[in-house]
Structure 1
Amino acid sequence: MKWLLLTTLAVFLAVAVAEGEVWEEDDHEVLIRSERGTKNQECRYSKGGWSECDPKTNQRSRTLTLKKGDQTNCESTKTMQKKCRKACRYEKGTWGECNPQAQMTRTDKLKQGSDASCEQKREITKKCKTKVAKPTKGKKAARRNRN
């Protein structure tokens, strides 16, 4: 668990340093600090709401408005963007029989109220589980008697 936390922190810091800024975000605002070695600069921004998803880019954006900081060193507004998550919800179908390639398939249908850009049906394929024959009690007892 510690390893995962340290790795996540290292990646976050690497990205922040690469962009020249360190971001801290809570429910109400975003704090942006400039990279170490430059003039100590803190810019606090109020967060606007997220826009609707743009179907062409599959991204949504939010505008940050300067709340506290030096207006000569801080941008008055910033824009954050992130990928949209499609709201595709499916009703699961039933699994078919195993085919000669040891795979089975099911077809799921899109539930009502899902994103209109989602596929109406999706097909899921997975490997069949092979059943390993377990020795019965009678066979175990017979083996014990032979030894």
Structure 2
Amino acid sequence: MRGLFSTLLVVLLALMIGASEAGKNKKEKNKGGKGGTECAEWRYGSCVANNGDCGQGTREGTCNEQIKKVKCRVPCNWKKEFGADCKYKFGNWGECDATTSTKSRTGTLQKALFNVECKPNISVSKPCTTKVKNKPKGKKGKGKGN
């Protein structure tokens, strides 16, 4: 009985050591990607939606000879001219230009996500709104006194 127990213990110990070695080798294989070298300077392109202009998509990253695809999301109703990966800080809207009926403002680059190339400064414009001031609004609806 003692011999069976010790044999079983040795077999169990051998299986545990083999499993831990296989786990270490698997981690080392996946560590560096293709070619087994770690790449420090990944460059990513802009996010491209799978269907239409917005929603789930992918972006391609390159480093030396390596290429990988990463899942991403393109926000809907986003300003396409400067992309979702370039974050800008905008000033106040300027005065309305009477000739074009638009007003504009400029933005300064704050952050470029995924090392995407962004313009350092951008300008955006929108149509002017002509708000007509109405008389002061009173109570709506009829109350008990009416």
| Bigger relative CO (Cα 8 Å, ≥ 6 apart) | 2
Q: Which structure has the greater CA radius of gyration?
A: 2
Bin the TM-score by the shorter chain.
0.3 to 0.5
User: What is the TM-score when the length of structure 2 is the normalising length?
Assistant: 0.36
Query: Which has the larger share of helix?
Result: 2
